[in-house]
A and B are shown apart, each in its own frame.
Chain A
Amino acid sequence: MRRIIAIALNTYREAVRNRIFYLLVGFGFFFALSSRFISMVTVGDQARVLKDVGLGAIHFFSITLVIFTGINLIYQEIERRTLFNILSKPVSRSEFILGKFFGLALTAGLSLLAMAGVFLLFLTITTGRVETPLLLSFLLLYEELLIITALALLFSSFTTPILSFLFTVSLTLIGRVLWTYNEFRPLLRTPLVRGLCRAIYLLLPNLDKFNIQDAVVVGRPLSTPTVLLAMGYGAVYIIALLTLTLFLFRRRQF
């Protein structure tokens, strides 16, 4: 356990040193400037635009951060042979992967906290209100980030960084539009095709459920069981990905 924590902390330190800081600063400025600008330019409710742009920026930056950091970290370890250094110690491969995952989770969590903190502060100053759906949406975003982290880790454990990047980005985007399956499902004819599509639909990460924008922006009411179901799905999916990663990484030759 201590070994996992040691690796996790080390991973966090390495991530923080490299990119987060600059991305955070970049995000902070981008957010502050652009949302202010855009909300001045709109006619109507400025708070809505502020929220939308801010949330959108946080989504985009945090996901980008997670993907790049996750893929880069493993790649760097292999490139620079620090991986050999670590694995030659009495550390199991599973401990290594778990340590990496928790380190990245810590990184993602802290940076999301900082971004969300800045955003909420901004929002409170401008509009004077903070709504619960907004806080919940950040929690769900975090879970989405963890899924993407696990994906990045999975791919970088067995393939080159470029392919890892492509796969992770593709799956993230697909995950966010997977809801369209329900739209074209009636168009599928043969049972075989229907079954196949349904299987694919169920197995790929369905990220739409972590998006409660309607509740946040428009005020549609949330149903607690639905939210809990979403969070459970996320947890289980992360476990599945990690287990797969452990399986693949244990067999990898260095």
Chain B
Amino acid sequence: MWGDRDVLTLRNVCKSFRSDFLRRQIPVLKGITMTVGRGEIYGFLGVNGAGKTTTIKCILGLLTPDRGSIEMEGRPLDRQSRQRIGFLPENPYFYDYLSAREYLALVGALFSLPSRETACRTGELLAQVGLPEVGSLKLRKFSKGMTQRLGLAAALLGDPDLLILDEPFSGLDPIGRKEIRDLLLACRERGKTIFFSSHILQDMELMVDRIGIVHGGQTTREGKLADLISHSVQAIQIVFTGIPPDRIAEVAPGALERDEARELTVDDEAQLAEVLPRIMAAGGQIRSITPLKRTLEEIFLREVKA
């Protein structure tokens, strides 16, 4: 079992590719530094082309970084590390002439699991991911969502401690998204660490513990989601009724009509303290006071445009 060390540590990972024709080096990763703690869900966020998939490939040993280090639980990556990792690629494609069971049997053999254990777990996992009936269906007949789910089952087959998923929600309908999300949350409950990349913010917001934003091959922000968002209360929104229209400009300048109430946005708590008594003195009734935090979207866009 792993200790309390960080599951995955990347330090200043750099990778360039050589363009074949001109022999120029094209840098793709220019310094990725991240830490994934045990038992957490880590979201790896970036636009297309920012280097997410390249980073994941480095973690999996498909690429060798030019500089920097990647460690799992304090030890450098090797083949044994991959025994503890479950990977779900983006747009997974499997050998489509195999059936679901056959494919999982193959994966089991590659993980050196005893075949009886593989057979057992196959049944369980297929049920868990919501594919209980498709054991003998050929993979070429699977829909996109089914393929995704099968990929997840394969990733879980070796009972990994670390799950790495590349764009796990892409191409799924909202129901599919929710199901995958629930599955991943259940995995976290069982003590697994989950690392996934995405460019869909809503999915991240709903489940991650920590976030790393990558842009232009570099990690630009990293931290707990709660921290990132709580430091950015942007404004406070007051919804109230009961002030006659001719007095709005005096009491609450800039208030907007919203259904049958008024809505006023102030910058901070100081202004709130100023406006609130005025409204109440004028006979208004406060419906709600809501601090508007920056959404993840806004944080992200700021990082990206910088």
- Residues in A lying within 8 Å of B, measured CB to CB: 2-3, 5-7, 10, 13-14, 17, 80-82, 84-92, 253-254
Contacts and interface: CB of A to CB of B under 8 A. Distances in A.
B89 A2 contact: no
Say what secondary structure dominates the interface of chain A: helix
Interface in B26-48: none
A84 B94 CA distance: 10
Nearest to A2: B109
The 4 closest A-B pairs by CB, nearest first: A6-B109, A90-B83, A254-B62, A90-B82
A84 B87 CA distance: 10
B60 A10 contact: no
Contacts of B83: 90
B253 interface: no
A89 B86 CA distance: 8
B60 A87 contact: yes
Contact of B61 (A3, A10, A17, A87): A87
A3 B110 CA distance: 5
B79 interface: yes
A253 B110 contact: no
Interface in B110-159: 110-112
Given A87-B61, A89-B82, A253-B64, 11 more contacts: A5-B109, A13-B97, A82-B94, A82-B95, A85-B87, A85-B89, A88-B85, A90-B110, A90-B111, A91-B110, A253-B17
Nearest to B96: A80
A92 B97 CA distance: 24
Contacts of B94: 82, 85
Contacts of B248: none
A14 B97 contact: yes
Nearest to A86: B110
Contacts, number: 70
B25 to A, nearest CB: 13
A17 B98 CA distance: 11
Most buried by B among A7, A13, A14, A85: A85
B63 interface: yes
B91 interface: yes
B106 interface: yes
A17 B85 CA distance: 31
A6 B93 CA distance: 18
A91 B111 CA distance: 8
Contacts of A3: 109-110, 112
B62 A85 contact: no
A90 B111 CA distance: 6
15 contacts: A2-B112, A3-B112, A10-B95, A13-B95, A13-B98, A81-B89, A84-B57, A84-B60, A84-B62, A86-B110, A88-B61, A88-B85, A92-B79, A253-B64, A254-B62
